[in-house]
Amino acid sequence: MDDHQMDRQLNIQTGGEQMGFNASMHEHRFEVTPYAWLDRLFKAHPLKGSGRLVDFGSGKGRLNFFAHRVFGTPSAGVEVDPSLHEAALRNLQRFKGKADIEFINGYAQDYEIHPEDRWFYFFNPFSDPVFMTVIDKILASVADHPREVEVILFYPALEYTDFLERRTAFELTGDIELPVEAEDPRERFLVYRLPRWD
């Protein structure tokens, strides 16, 4: 699945590299997950049932638009870089099809978790202290509004997985390896589920 071709089909532009942005030492640079790999994720782990997908470090919105195309899933993208956020908003205006997609410009730790937020995607967008704060907010939301939630990590940082496995009730339920062209063994998706307890 060619990235440029899929962008053209969706009438959006999500590729490219980030130039000159470094808001703080806690934010990592913009990188895009290839469509072929997102397709592999969604075939191995479809987003079933109701709920909203939240992409932390959403960049220009690729994951949000692709999830909508495949599943019709409502989503939110949280992006701290104003220029990437503006690009996502332009993509939303051009997108072929009506979509329940919201883009928020701000810090991940300031995002208020909504009761319908169910899937949380991270491609190492920020430092582990920020990740821990976001996970704590997810857990607080689940305590207030019981539901099953999942954290999906791409290219998972060891600090992220250690925190989830040692300090939370999240359970690893999926390890989705990428095709042989992925040269780095960390190029994989890990899915962690917090079962619903009520």
Write down the domain spans for the chain.
133-198
pTM: 0.92
What are 120's strand-pairing partners? 54, 151
Q: Which of 147, 150, 168, 146 is nearest to 45 (CA)?
A: 150
Percentage of residues in the chain having pLDDT higher than 90: 78
User: Does residue 192 surpass a pLDDT of 80?
Assistant: yes
Tell me: the pLDDT tens digits for 96-120?
Answer: 778 899 999 999 999 999 999 999 9
Tell me: the pLDDT tens digits for 43-58?
Answer: 999 999 999 999 999 9
As a three-state string, the secondary structure of 120-164 is EEECCCECHHHHHHHHHHHHHHHHHCCCCEEEEEECCCHHHHHHH
Span 82-94, average pLDDT: 96
Tell me: the pLDDT tens digits for 155-186?
Answer: 999 999 999 999 999 999 999 988 766 677 78
Quick one: pLDDT at residue 18?
A: 46
What are 172's strand-pairing partners? 192
Q: 131: which residues sit within 8 A by CB, 6+ positions away?
A: 122, 157, 159, 160, 163
Q: Which of 75, 1, 44 is nearest to 154 (CA)?
A: 44
